[in-house]
Amino acid sequence: MASLPWHYVLKFIITGDAAFGKSSLLVRLTDQRFLANSDPTLGAEFGSTLITLPAPEPTASSGAGTPPAQTQHYKELLLEGGW
């Protein structure tokens, strides 16, 4: 049995009032389609989707990936909570 390649699993739990659009939002997030007419639900919807990341493209630079200044900028954003 061949498995599908994936990098991340995103799991969603959406809560809210009845007939507020939880099911439509969940279908949009997980299946990339819009569900115009669905049965009303009470309280919560659960779902998940697999995320596959594309292979990184080779660059003409040193090939080290992210430049050190950019990496430092991201670290500062994460530490300051600005992300």
Of 48, 49, 39, 46, nearest to 18 (Cα)? 39
**Confidence class of residue 64 from pLDDT cuts 50, 70 and 90?**
low
Classify the phi-psi angles of 81: left when phi > 0, otherwise alpha if psi is within -120 to 50, otherwise beta.
left
In this predicted structure, what is the pLDDT of residue 66?
A: 56
Between the two ends of the chain, the Cα-to-Cα distance in Å is: 40
Residue 64 corresponds to which tokens in the numbers above? 């080290």
Give the rounded percent of residues in the chain with a pLDDT score beyond 70: 66
